[in-house]
Structure 1
Amino acid sequence: MADRQLRIPVMTHPLRTVIYARFSTDMQRDASIEDQIRSCREHAERQGLDVVDVYSDKAVSGASLMRSGVQKLLQGAQDNCFDVVLSEALDRLSRNQADIALIYQKLQFRDVLIETVSEGSISEMHIGLKGTMNSLFLKDLAAKTHRGLKGRALAGKSAGGKAYGYRAVIHYNASGDPIRGERKIDPTEANIVRRIFTDYAAGLSPKKIAEALNAKKIASPSGRGWGASTLHGNRERGTGILNNELYIGRQIWNRLAYIKDPETGRRVSRLKPEAEWVITEIPELRIVDQDLWNAVRARQGAMKVKNTPTAIWDRRRPKTLFSGLMKCGGCGGGFSKVSQTSFGCSTARNKGKTVCDNMATIGQAELERLVLDALQNNLMDQEALAIFCQEYARERNRLQAEASLSRNALEKELAATRKDHAKLVDAIIAGIPAEHVKDRMLALDARRIELEGKVAREADPSPIRIHPSMAESYRENITTLISQLQNPDGMLEAKEALRGLIDRIVLQPTEPSGKLAIHLEGALAGLLMISSDAKRQKGLSGRTQVFEDIDELVLVAGVGFEPTTFRL
């Protein structure tokens, strides 16, 4: 296919271009990324484009935008770091029709062009046609995969996943290719399954059964200890040891559909109509006899379905102000409601004292009072702020020293490249035919442009400027947020903002009183953000920016420093 010429306005300098490459399937390999980059570099050279950076994603599906390479690329476009995005094909950027349209819109808004090796300059027509084709490809691939798995399920073979009590068996055909999907009963695990069914039918609760298994140090399916939910699961969805009909030689496949959430990129499951289930009898895989299975079903009773008209996104909201942030100092597990007014270690109650013996509790009202008071008065004072800024400056200096070494190496290579290029020019002047050195001169010139771009980006960081009223501003904003907890209109935003200031709340049992010591770890990035009155903070108005480089500082604080800790 002849190279298409990129349709661009006349400019006096080469367009700054970034390359994006991606592979996602097992059929590809790391070298696929390098192949794509090499192809794009050759295309850029032919088109006279100046490649200034490369973004890539390895082994990540193109059906989601939750990819670090794509997110960095979009951020770079927002920061005006380049003029053209170059990729091997449009489907490398995304196979999802809505996502590729969104990428195109964002880049168009920033006056950034999209060029591909296979399709040339991308326009709205390509977005519509290729986006539709890529979307259909994904659907077709999913349908073919589903069809193949259904064939396995109908043949009584495993169509994915590993059930506790069984082990995989691989046979080979005459050509030596593996025949997958075969299973056989694991005698040791099968005995554990029968024990669980027997104990439950005898009246023991899933919690007590899990405690006993952990006390015997019996390995769980996850390897992280037995819990009550591992046993009782969800009867309607067929999850949990006690609901797995494979134990009576009956395989049910296609009960659940897994759909990717477009907001998070994560898969969520949905129960399918029973008419779509694929049910296969496999008597040789039975572990539990029918009488024991029926006894368990009788004890479970009729299926109870709660009438919950509340929208699912409301049910997923934290039930209390600090739900999900509390951790046990003994085992690292979560703290949850153990009574109407108190919290306790979930692991100690669900998996037994052999896993965690922290049985101390704390009242919800007392915990919230102590934590809110600490947020208001202890987690951001002027002395602590000064110490942080000293440490931040020291870290920036260390990183700058490392960057200087890298910059020196780049400058040396740049000087050598310019020198070699000048020698070739002198050689041509001296009479050597230009065609003999043309390729070498082009390569040196491309490398020179690339090195100049890298050296230009290695700029010295600006000094940190600290506003003297940062701590005062923090306390004012915290007071405002706490007061909004009593206001129905601003309560949800205030809760969300306050939770964003906390990394975690560790509740550690103390001796000999047995009471809980509270270690509050502040999320430093959130604390700095609210202290700076950043406009992105919900429920707060923006004022003077405390740090000129607040975005970078908050990023570094979020990943490079220990959280602020205060003991209550």
Structure 2
Amino acid sequence: MRIALYARYSSDNQREASIADQFRMCRLRAEKEGWTVVEEYSDHAISGSSMIQRSGIQALIMDSARGRFDLIMAEALDRISRDQEDIAGIYKRMRYADVKMFTLSEGEISELHVGLKGTMNALFLKDLADKTRRGQRGRVEAGKSGGGNAYGYDVVKKFDSNGEPVRGDRTINEAQAEVVRRIFRDYAAGKSAKMIAVSLNRDSIPAPTGGDWGFSTINGNPRRGNGILNNEMYVGKIVWNRQRFVKDPDTGKRQARPNPESEWVTQDTPELRILDDELWNAVKARQGENRTERDQSGVADVRKMNYRRRPRYLFSGLTKCACCGGGYSAISASHIGCSTARNKGTCENRVNIRRDELESRVLNALRTRMLDPKIFAEFCDAYTRETNRLRMESSGHIDRAKAEIEKIDREVQKLMDLYLKDALSVDDVKERGDKLRARKAELSDFLVTADEPPPLLHPNMALQYRKRVQQLYETLQSDDEESRTAAAEVIRTLVQDIVLTPVDGKVEIDVRGDLAGILTLSAQSKNPAAGAAGLQVKMVAGVGFEPTTFRL
């Protein structure tokens, strides 16, 4: 019996050794049963309520479909999952793969365990969430913090008479409190959140996370009460239960949902006050003036918005600043500039470039300079040599595997002959036969999953590439919006990144091509704008086949 072990612990508060302990107990049981452990899977500090974010359980499910083991063992069913739907789904997949499930607590898992234990685990999670919220509410009503720590305060660490930690106590951090007052004074005086962030970064004041300040850290979301300007604790008031979190069943990520104001819990804590009412009210008044007016349905009045939505430009997300590594983004209808320099002030690159100029220079380079026929011919020679080498290595492994399978078949036949001649007992034949069959199964799996080397390239692909880029360029000039969008998406696959470097008041452009996109486009025989972007070319790892970066 080939078995796989699975272990999980759910919280950073639990010990890393918990995984080792679970494996140790499972291995002892496997040894007692005479089972062979072929693989171990684990997930560290991840909740059992979601299966999507757990790489260990995902790998286990994939390997079960490949027949790598006959049974999976865990300490208990709740280690595999606490979610009813996930438990049922895993059990169904294991049944389909002819893999049994076994736990130290429940024994062999059946439909009854899936139904009853799945329900009990789901109720446990709900009860745990209810108890946690009840404890948080009790702390808030006692004038303590119900959640994480806020900027401007320190966590008070102390213990009760029983040695248990006392949670929720906070004290003012005077250095950070002065920064909070500075932010409020500057905002009330008319400075924008972006200007305030730049000023704080210029003075080397660390942000709440320890990095650089951004305007979103200051502005936050007034409706949700987050951000420096919206934290009511600064005026001695703790507001709890503004929002709740629900888990997206598709992604496993938590999504915030606002609670009605009637469910909020508010507690006065004058000892934690940092700001006076006059300064707080001045900031709230200015926020009210800047806030976008909305109709009764909550839809913003576009005519009164203080910003406008800018369309995504052709190379959006691909342009980077050479000075700081940050992205370039639109700063006006026609220009792009370093986002870090504008939003945080920690980059000295203030040189901007017209968007149409950048696009024109890069497109012309893609048409005329990327994949020069002579350079591409040399690349094809090197690629072909490397591909042939890998093909020979892969072929050698495959041939050896096939030869060993033939040898195993002969050995099995010899065992049967010896058994018929009474030269071997039934137990000996079974023991040796099981080992041979296990080895044959491993070799068969290898042959099924063996990857073929990538296809050879032809030097004429460089000419095909130029022809197709020209077609894409012409499509971008057309009046058909759908065709232009498709062409733009394909062109984006040709570029890995575009690095912009300020030199004497101008911008130098370094373009690095994305080899997978380039070869995909080069190998096509149809219109490249008709959905080519989804294809991928499998490359040889470690050879360094990347088009040379060229400067414009």
Q: Which amino acid aligns with 1:113?
A: D
Kept after mapping to 2: 8 A contact 1:40/1:117: no
- The Cα offsets for residues 11-56 of structure 1, whole Å up to 9 and x where unpaired, read as xxx6x54433322224543333334334445555677765433332
Rounded Cα–Cα distance in structure 2 between residues aligned with 1:567 and 1:114: 57
Rounded Cα–Cα distance in structure 1 between residues aligned with 2:191 and 2:243: 29
Kept after mapping to 1: 8 A contact 2:327/2:340: yes
TM-aligned CA deviation for residue 94 of structure 1:
3.1
Kept after mapping to 1: 8 A contact 2:368/2:466: yes
- 2:551 match: 567
Rounded Cα–Cα distance in structure 2 between residues aligned with 1:38 and 1:525: 45
- 1:217 match: 204
SS at 2:357 equivalent: helix
Q: Which amino acid aligns with 1:346?
A: S
Kept after mapping to 2: 8 A contact 1:114/1:122: no
Which aligned pairs between 1:45-60 and structure 2 lie closer than 5 A?
A: 51-60=37-46
SS at 1:73 equivalent: helix
- 2:334 match: 341
2:284 paired with 1:304: no
- The Cα offsets for residues 107-157 of structure 1, whole Å up to 9 and x where unpaired, read as 55xx41343323555566655544444333333322222222222222222
- 1:250 match: 237
Kept after mapping to 1: 8 A contact 2:321/2:328: yes
Q: Runs of 5+ in structure 2 lacking a partner?
A: 303-307, 398-430
- The Cα offsets for residues 178-201 of structure 1, whole Å up to 9 and x where unpaired, read as 212211111111111112211222
Report which stretch shifted further, 241-250 or 91-100: 91-100
Cα 1:270–1:367 change in 2 (3 A) is farther
Rounded Cα–Cα distance in structure 2 between residues aligned with 1:358 and 1:188: 31
TM-aligned CA deviation for residue 283 of structure 1:
0.6
- 2:54 match: 67
Cα 1:317–1:343 change in 2 (3 A) is closer
Cα 1:447–1:253 change in 2 (3 A) is farther
- 2:305 match: none
- 1:10 match: none
SS at 2:56 equivalent: helix
Q: Which amino acid aligns with 1:295?
A: A
2:73 paired with 1:87: yes
Rounded Cα–Cα distance in structure 2 between residues aligned with 1:503 and 1:391: 20
- 1:116 match: 101
TM-score of the superposed pair, with normalisation by structure 2:
0.74
TM-aligned CA deviation for residue 290 of structure 1:
0.8
- 1:438 match: none
Q: State which of 527, 531, 548 in structure 2 corresponds to 1:540.
A: 531
Report which stretch shifted further, 223-232 or 275-284: 223-232
2:497 paired with 1:504: yes
- 1:466 match: 456
Q: CA RMSD in A?
A: 5.0
Rounded Cα–Cα distance in structure 2 between residues aligned with 1:520 and 1:180: 53
- 1:34 match: 20
2:380 paired with 1:366: no
TM-score of the superposed pair, with normalisation by structure 1:
0.72
Aligned sequence identity (%):
46
SS at 2:156 equivalent: strand
- The Cα offsets for residues 480-500 of structure 1, whole Å up to 9 and x where unpaired, read as 766776654566666555545
Cα 1:316–1:140 change in 2 (3 A) is farther
Report which stretch shifted further, 113-122 or 163-172: 113-122
Rounded Cα–Cα distance in structure 2 between residues aligned with 1:392 and 1:283: 75
Rounded Cα–Cα distance in structure 2 between residues aligned with 1:477 and 1:107: 48
Rounded Cα–Cα distance in structure 1 between residues aligned with 2:310 and 2:190: 34
SS at 2:169 equivalent: strand
TM-aligned CA deviation for residue 530 of structure 1:
5.6
Rounded Cα–Cα distance in structure 2 between residues aligned with 1:18 and 1:541: 41
- 1:432 match: none
Kept after mapping to 1: 8 A contact 2:3/2:73: no
Rounded Cα–Cα distance in structure 1 between residues aligned with 2:25 and 2:436: 20
- The Cα offsets for residues 285-318 of structure 1, whole Å up to 9 and x where unpaired, read as 11111111111222222543552599xxxx9998
TM-aligned CA deviation for residue 253 of structure 1:
1.6
Rounded Cα–Cα distance in structure 2 between residues aligned with 1:498 and 1:320: 12
Kept after mapping to 2: 8 A contact 1:231/1:242: yes
Task: Figure out how many residues of one structure are paired with residues of the other and give that number.
Answer: 510
TM-aligned CA deviation for residue 272 of structure 1:
2.2
SS at 1:301 equivalent: helix
Report which stretch shifted further, 128-137 or 331-340: 128-137
- 1:331 match: 324
Report which stretch shifted further, 83-92 or 358-367: 83-92
- 1:76 match: 63
- 1:195 match: 182
- 1:229 match: 216
Kept after mapping to 1: 8 A contact 2:519/2:537: no
Rounded Cα–Cα distance in structure 1 between residues aligned with 2:348 and 2:152: 30
Report which stretch shifted further, 485-494 or 57-66: 485-494
Q: Which amino acid aligns with 1:134?
A: N
Q: State which of 260, 268, 277 in structure 1 corresponds to 2:247.
A: 260
Kept after mapping to 2: 8 A contact 1:50/1:449: no
Cα 1:102–1:43 change in 2 (3 A) is same
TM-aligned CA deviation for residue 479 of structure 1:
6.2
Q: Which amino acid aligns with 2:73?
A: S
Report which stretch shifted further, 488-497 or 274-283: 488-497
Cα 1:541–1:393 change in 2 (3 A) is same
- 2:509 match: 518
SS at 2:170 equivalent: strand
- 2:422 match: none
Kept after mapping to 1: 8 A contact 2:188/2:286: yes
Report which stretch shifted further, 322-331 or 496-505: 496-505
- 2:348 match: 357
Q: Runs of 5+ in structure 1 lacking a partner?
A: 1-13, 405-441
- The Cα offsets for residues 360-399 of structure 1, whole Å up to 9 and x where unpaired, read as 22223333334444455555567458649958987998xx
